[in-house]
Structure 1
Amino acid sequence: MAKREPNGRLRTLLTDARWSGQDFARAVNGVAAEHGLTLRYDRTSVSHWLSGTRPSAHVVALAAEALSRRTGRRISPADTGLARTVPSGIPDTTGGATGGATGGDAPAAPAEGPFGEVPVYSRDWRPDGEPPAGPPVRRAAPGGRLGHHHVAAAEALLPVFRDADMTYGSGRIRPALTAYLTTTVVPWLSADAPPAVRHRLLAAAARLAYTAGFLCFDGNEQGLAQAYYRAALRLGREAGDPRCHAPALRAMSVQAHHLGHRKQAWELAEAAARHAPRLPPVQAAFVTGQLAVAEAACGDRRAALTQLGRAERLLERATGRCVPIGDYHRAAYHHQQSEVLAALGDTAGAVAALSASLRHRPPAERRARAVTSARLAELQLDRGHLERACATWHELLDTVGPLESARVTDAARRLRVRLRAAGGNHAARALLTRLAPA
């Protein structure tokens, strides 16, 4: 038996991250939870890894992501020293030693999504790189060629899923949409179809995959969200339609920004904005506003304000007509304006922008109103306005109604932590009591 070599690369990375073994294990478990995996690694597991034991490949990807987030730089699975090196043509039969997972068994690898991607979020992917190939082409079931009426059915369902998500949150809608993609749309993509039908189908599938990605993002299933976004990008590119693939790049930028990957968020936003001249004004504003947010997060004040002004002018040129994906209106603009101002240190301006966003937000967009209100309360707390923040949350609870949105649930959790630190404040106690069942 070959002697295991200590993993010096991983030890160096943990030193750079200022993490103990327990800290690292907890972070890996947390990233796994975003992808629907339950891992229970601990400091003993990390000790085994440092001594040379290597976990299964998907766990290595999760570890690389956790270290990337902590250190703020791109760390690949190979950089961790945990990735296996298997000679070409020889299958890996080790079974993936876990070094301390529950019960001593390797955790189940995440299942593939309907478009073939393994749903583990990775910051290694670049916007100009080709997304991974989809699953092998399968023959369609007997029943003849696809026609325009098949695609029309898929197009008709898109606004149904989108509107239900806006009203009730992603949790209630996502299972139905992902099941429809898996059982209906994916088989259609491998069916015979005339060129015009094929082109229309690719665009419809791209928009549905984009919507599924957003539902997963709202549900804090980040690996699945990225997988669907990448599928939407690939399908939109195959259709040759920037109205499909530019919003997908923009969505991936939003996700990267949300996860703290500022440079990658900028790269993706800039790639999306390059398509702006070929987009309807409302979609051009949609992608340009996100570029402003990404510029601000990277500290470029001048570029951020320039792009924000450009987004506003594009929005003013847009007609009132909705687009299938990438719809944008005054409330969305003010929300992006708030993110720009907050990143640039203007908290008062950010609060005013979010208040304007709420005034312009249509009542039917309940989930967006909840996310906006929660963010407004966070900024009000940052400014020391505890009573205003509590009033904002009370109004949210009064008007929004029940939602299944992990983003809103996470915001409530963060709020409870901050309110408990407020001690005996009456407003804080009252809101904590109301939030207790949440």
Structure 2
Amino acid sequence: MTGQAPNDRLARLIKEAGFSRKSFARAVRDSSGSAGAPINCDHTSVSRWLNGMQPRTDTAGLIIAMLSRTLGRTIALSDAGLASSAKPPVDLGLAYPETLAEGVETVMQLWQADLDEASVVLNGQIRARAWSDASLAWLLTMPLSADEKEARIGEADIARFRVTVDLFAQMDNRFGGEHARRSFIHYLSTDATRLLDGRTSGKTSPRLVSAVAEATLLAAWMSYDSGLHALAQRYFIQALGLAQAADDRLLAAGVLDAMSHQATFVGRYREAVNLARAARQGTAGVATPTMTAHFHTMEARALARLGDAPACDRALTQATREFERRNPDDDPDWIGYFDEAELAAEFGHCFRDLGRPAAANQYVTPCVRTGRDGEYLRSDFFATMVLADAHLGAGEVEQACLVALDALKVGEQLRSARCASYLREFSVRLVPAVTFAHLGDFYEQAADFSLWQQATMAQ
């Protein structure tokens, strides 16, 4: 047993369930027999597991299933110290689902692999081809319909689920994706799984699938904000498939729009442009002006990073025209955040990246501290940092540092890898200002903030 640490997590669960080692082994044997895959284990096997030996993948799965039933709650492999037994496929979640059943099964596996901290989904690499394959499949395929079932899951269940998801969305906006991401995934793995496993009517089923698609989109955003980019990409793709299965074309386009946002962030600008254009093309004539305006801004963000100023300006002009036609009452709830301040912030991002600090300053200044009572604290942080970048680009180092300190104060409650990335870029832009007399004072004050510590540790 050299090098193996005792599995205290499994020991605690066995004790909580009231098992001895012998009775636990018997329960695992009985569970395996009921599952049609008998396992020969005894109290000696249990002792090995408690001493740190990892059981086979199928055995670990049976242990978790049996403990979950006994304790009356979902137990993840990581909860029982068995995460290393999990071996999900390396491409889990990267393929666009061909049927609703496939999409449901895949997203459930993805939730579980996430909770089990499977390295293949947490630490994998972004695959640019997966974005293009998913967007093309969405553009070319019909809705993934499901068979009608006897009603059991009703509108009240869906409403309760949506309200709970909305609470997690509020926490995400106010505190960042890292704050409650794992709790949200645990909620999805339990309540969303229960709803999807239930029976629904033909009328209720699309609304349920749409609600789960929107929740999976939030899981993707939270994972993206946490810096888990390969995992976020998988959630985005599965959210797209579920939205298609629900015949919710507007939500599906919103997913592609979000994919474009992530693609720009990770430096895949051409893919980001194509994803934003696919969202617009796939909803031509049906998307609201607000949505179309946002599709144009996502395209503009990527074009600005590419340095294509004429194309970026055209996209921003189109965004303005669409936004001027908007009627918020016509918009889906999930795009309701995109108001005048958010549009101006998008312009500010683009002009900063195009090297137009005066224009960036003009657009983002009204966005800073817009009086939204912290509802979109992370967005306020981003706008403030773009303003700091604009001052720096104009050679106003002292003002840039003062604004960056304001951003750090705004973001003190945030747990967000994206926010840390904005600070990291700012610190790189500060390097040429090394002769600025008060730069040392800025660094000293910034060092007191956790986001600055997170940003500088990664350098």
Task: Provide the TM-score with structure 1 as the length reference.
Answer: 0.66
Alignment partners' CA distance in 2, 1:314 and 1:419: 37
The alpha-carbon distance between structure 1 residues 175 and 306, as it changes in their structure 2 partners (threshold 3 A), is same
Q: Does 1:277 align with 2:285?
A: yes
Q: Residue in 1 aligned with 2:335?
A: 326
Shift of 1:264: 0.5
Whether contact under 8 Å (1:172, 1:404) holds in the other structure is yes
Note the alpha carbon deviations across 1:129-164, whole angstroms, 9 max, x for none: 438xxxxxxxxxxx9821111111111123212212
Note the alpha carbon deviations across 1:394-417, whole angstroms, 9 max, x for none: 222344442111122233344445
Between Structure 1 and Structure 2, whose CA radius of gyration is higher? 2
Whether contact under 8 Å (2:259, 2:275) holds in the other structure is yes
Per mean C-alpha deviation after superposition, the further-off stretch among 214-223 and 422-431 is 422-431
The alpha-carbon distance between structure 1 residues 107 and 190, as it changes in their structure 2 partners (threshold 3 A), is closer
Whether contact under 8 Å (1:332, 1:357) holds in the other structure is yes
Alignment partners' CA distance in 1, 2:159 and 2:152: 15
Q: Residue in 1 aligned with 2:56?
A: none
The alpha-carbon distance between structure 1 residues 296 and 374, as it changes in their structure 2 partners (threshold 3 A), is closer
Q: Residue in 2 aligned with 1:315?
A: 323
Aligned partner of 1:335 among 345, 349, 353: 345
Any idea what SS the aligned residue of 2:415 has? coil
The alpha-carbon distance between structure 1 residues 302 and 416, as it changes in their structure 2 partners (threshold 3 A), is closer
Unaligned residue ranges in structure 2 (runs of 5+): 1-83, 94-106, 111-119, 139-149, 451-459
Q: Residue in 2 aligned with 1:351?
A: 361
Q: Does 1:389 align with 2:392?
A: no
What aligned pairs does 1:108-257 form with structure 2 within 5 A after superposition? 114-116=107-109, 119=121, 120=124, 121-125=126-130, 126=132, 127-130=134-137, 145-257=152-264
Alignment partners' CA distance in 1, 2:351 and 2:371: 19
Which residue identity does 2:267 align to in structure 1?
A: G
Per mean C-alpha deviation after superposition, the further-off stretch among 388-397 and 255-264 is 388-397
Q: Residue in 2 aligned with 1:294?
A: 302
Alignment partners' CA distance in 1, 2:434 and 2:312: 38
Any idea what SS the aligned residue of 2:368 has? helix
Whether contact under 8 Å (1:371, 1:407) holds in the other structure is no
Task: Provide the TM-score with structure 2 as the length reference.
Answer: 0.64
Shift of 1:287: 1.8
Q: Residue in 2 aligned with 1:372?
A: 383
Shift of 1:210: 0.9
Any idea what SS the aligned residue of 1:124 has? helix
Any idea what SS the aligned residue of 1:325 has? helix
The alpha-carbon distance between structure 1 residues 418 and 318, as it changes in their structure 2 partners (threshold 3 A), is closer
Q: Does 1:306 align with 2:306?
A: no
Any idea what SS the aligned residue of 2:402 has? helix
Shift of 1:288: 2.4
**Structure richer in helix, relative to its length:** 2
Whether contact under 8 Å (1:390, 1:427) holds in the other structure is no
Alignment partners' CA distance in 2, 1:306 and 1:158: 36
Which residue identity does 2:210 align to in structure 1?
A: A
The alpha-carbon distance between structure 1 residues 407 and 433, as it changes in their structure 2 partners (threshold 3 A), is same
Q: How many residues align?
A: 322
Alignment partners' CA distance in 1, 2:420 and 2:353: 23
Q: Compute the RMSD of aligned alpha carbons.
A: 2.8
Alignment partners' CA distance in 2, 1:188 and 1:251: 25
Q: Residue in 1 aligned with 2:4?
A: none
Alignment partners' CA distance in 2, 1:343 and 1:404: 25
Shift of 1:360: 4.5
Aligned partner of 1:406 among 407, 413, 417: 417
Unaligned residue ranges in structure 1 (runs of 5+): 1-105, 132-142
Any idea what SS the aligned residue of 2:296 has? helix
